[in-house]
Each structure stands twice: as C-alpha cells, then as structure tokens.
Amino acid sequence: MPMFVDPSPPGQCIFCRLVAGEIPAAIVAQDELTIAFMDIGQVTPGHVLVATRRHAATLLDVTPQEAAAVLQTAQRVAQAVQAAFDPPGLTLLQANGAVGGQTVGHFHLHVVPRHADDGIHFTWPRQEPGAQVLQGYAERLRAQLCAQP
Ligand code: AMP
Ligand code: ZN
C-alpha cells in the first residue's frame, strides 16, 4: 500500500499537465468535465483512468456534477473495454489519501479489466460487530447527512 501522494499544487500535478497536453498520454475520451486515458502502468490490458479535468484532490473535493460525470465516463469506457478486450470481469477502484492507496493527488477512477488469476488480490479483515453496533454507526451517519447543507 503506497504511503505517499504526489504533493504538486493544483494545476501542476501530473494529471493537470496531462489535461493541458504538456505531457503525452494515450487519451481514450474527453468531455467538458472528464478525461479518460490509458494508465501508464497497465495492471491488465485495457486498464483506463478516468479523471476530472479540473484539479481536485479526492472524492471529498469534487463537485457532485464532477462525481456524476466521472462515473458516466467510466461506464462508457467500461462498455468500450468490454467490447474491445472482452474481459470476464471489470473492477472499478478509486483511492483517496495515501493510506487509502492514492499516489496521484488528482481525483481519478481506475477501470480495470479482470481475468481469472490476474494477480489482483483484495484482502480485508471482515468483521460482523452485530446489529446494535451497526445501528449506532448508521445513526452517526444519518446525523451527519441531516446536517449537510
Ligand atoms: P492511484 O494509486 O490510484 O493514485 O493511481 C495512480 C495511477 O496513475 C497509477 O496506476 C499510475 O500508473 C498512473 N499514472 C501515473 N502517471 C501517469 C501518466 N503520466 N500517465 C498515465 N498514468 C499514470
Ligand atoms: Zn491536478
């Protein structure tokens, strides 16, 4: 798990420079709010990144319109990946913060074609804390959602 996010300021990070055409990229699609391009480090053939055109570090920094646009572009890209590469599975991955696995501090979503035995492993320590604890967590979140503007 990476513990470092590129600290470049807005407008100068690697993906801002890619959006500006200052560094080369294999661009797949772009529209007013998003850009899709091949990940330089192909986990499997057809691995695409969908990013906001505007610099925003994480999911907490994008506008609702940008969040929706990124997922819409990801769906279009996924349909193209399915048609072009015919993978038996597809995984979307979106990392926030170094501890969350983010290395480039400009919001993006991975579209990863999946194959049996492709070497990708997700391990997480699943716990079942019980109904009372779950209700407590939900109550905390409902309170926050009610307080949102
Ligand atoms: P993350 O760990 O979710 O922040 O993923 C960042 C991704 O950006 C990695 O998978 C890198 O391979 C990819 N990446 C970094 N620089 C470039 C670049 N210049 N062009 C395309 N992909 C890149
Ligand atoms: Zn940026």
CA of 56 to the centre of ligand 1 (A): 15
Is residue 44 lining ligand 1, measured as CB closer than 6 Å? no
Q: Give the residue from 93, 94, 107, 106 showing the smallest Cα distance to 7.
A: 106
Binned at pLDDT 50, 70 and 90, residue 71 comes out as very high
CA of 54 to the centre of ligand 1 (A): 16
How far is residue 63 from each of residues 88, 99, 115, measured CA to CA in Å? 33, 23, 33
Out of 47, 55, 106, 108, which one is annotated catalytic?
108
Residue 3 has pLDDT above 90, yes or no: no
Domains, the chain, in order of start with CATH, read 14-124 (3.30.428.10)
Residue 136 has pLDDT above 60, yes or no: yes
Binned at pLDDT 50, 70 and 90, residue 66 comes out as very high
Q: Which atom of ligand 1 is nearest to the CA of 25?
A: 20
Rg (CA), the chain: 17
d(CA 61, CA 48): 21
Contact of 136 with 111, CB cutoff 8 Å: no
pTM of the model: 0.95
CA of 104 to the centre of ligand 1 (A): 6
